[in-house]
Structure 1
């Protein structure tokens, strides 16, 4: 029997610092309704979907806690979970997580997977946390490491009605380890949320490549690991910083099957053929047949260290 899963990437326009959580949740509910009306069964929202991308600033301690979620769902976010149950559609959402562990506050850049019953199915905490803890003059370096520690859950894969789902956030999408770990754990679909600036102060000459470099690792990751990928961005001018958007759904062939065209709230939907995964594996990436993880280290050892380079 053919297997299909209709995916939706729910891009949002900017979420300004002055926006209330309730107003933002209402926007997300509207996007989820659009996705469901288009036949989507599973949607993905951006990284830090409930707030502005606050790691762009140095904040005072009194300002910080209000930007994190101590529980999901909480009183303000509950309407989104209720909408999922009412509409019969699941979703993944990125948010700033604050938890108490052994009496100590810990903070993560997290993503929650929610089923069509409105119940939590799984959680992921961002592994590849970029940026720094202090501002760096003349750069666009964000302060994610000031506000988040690296995730401690690894790359879990969750069952979603018989489909294996993995999660990732922003900088994770640029690293091949993300897709390979999820693939080896049996993922068939990866949901990604991101916030990406249009311009990097340290490399203005590369500005024209920002969208290309956004899509490139996701297309490569999908192709090399035979995965479907649905990725949702924040887009537009958010608190003075331009974000690229480019939300998309990528097939295991590496092709972009659907892509957002605006810099505002927008839903892109695609009916994903899960059987295409097996077809792509049979053509090029039959891991059981061709992959040799136990031999890779031996091959390097036999080759010996690289010869010393001598300048002519």
Structure 2
């Protein structure tokens, strides 16, 4: 199994990508299966790294919201064994100063969780890059393709708007192991509007001018966390309703 994991970045298979991006002056975000020795043992993470225009590593993120299951389940038309091969990431949701702004990363299922965007939003994030690899059909739910794509875009649009940030969602598309992948790559503005979108399940290039200054209005007005967010009252409301608070 470990032959599918990378111990270092760049490695023999990825060095050419780094070299060409540096030659062209292009930064990028790259996802991979990471194998690393930490705490006296080998650990495996679903990881993304952020590389700047000079080919320098800016930041690393390890996926937190691992979906699926760890053991084979015969009732499923296809397996989703991410929990078998990876452990939960230990980097947290960080942000980095890069490309003239504040940048963060997430991976696949992370995009469905409000915490992903809010933790980075509280750090004044202006651009979040998300890579995802999602089948057109779910093995158990029976959701329609239309509904699954709606949820896919809804989560990224809501996260962008409620945290006043650009969101770039890049999907793997086509057929993998006999199953179609949904595609649906988008670039979402801080208004929650999709400003560029892939239209097919084939290879496409989408582009947009992501003016980070567009984040300022919502960060300073509607979603001004310092002025309007009141976390000190959240616990009181929970106690009044008789809800058991978590750890």
Q: TM-score range by the shorter chain?
A: over 0.9
**1:276, 1:190 → 2: CA distance?**
14
Matched pairs, number: 242
> Cα distance, 1:203 vs. partner?
1.8
Structure 1 residue aligned with 2:170, among 232, 239, 259? 232
Aligned residue number for residue 233 of structure 2: 295
Aligned residue number for residue 185 of structure 2: 247
**1:152, 1:242 → 2: CA distance?**
31
Q: Which of 227-236 and 280-289 deviates more?
A: 280-289
* Alpha carbons 1:200, 1:207 under 8 Å: kept: no
Q: Which of 204-213 and 289-298 deviates more?
A: 204-213
Q: Which of 262-271 and 278-287 deviates more?
A: 278-287
Aligned residue number for residue 47 of structure 1: none
Structure 2 residue aligned with 1:211, among 116, 132, 149? 149
Q: Is 1:182 equivalent to 2:120 in the alignment? A: yes
> Cα distance, 1:205 vs. partner?
4.0
CA separation of 1:161/1:200 partners in 2, compared to 1, >3 Å: closer, same or farther?
closer
Structure 1 length normalisation: TM-score?
Answer: 0.75
**RMSD (Å), alpha carbons:** 1.3
Which of the pair has more CA radius of gyration?
1
Gaps of 5+ in 2: none
Gaps of 5+ in 1: 1-63, 307-312
Structure 2 length normalisation: TM-score?
Answer: 0.94
SS at match of 2:196: strand
Structure 2 residue aligned with 1:223, among 141, 161, 180? 161
The structure showing larger relative contact order (alpha-carbon pairs under 8 Å, at least 6 residues apart) is: 1
Aligned residue number for residue 34 of structure 2: 97
Structure 1 residue aligned with 2:43, among 102, 106, 120? 106
Q: Is 1:136 equivalent to 2:85 in the alignment? A: no
CA deviation vs aligned residue, 1:134-189 (integer Å, no higher than 9, x gap): 01222245000100000001011111043111000000000000000011122110
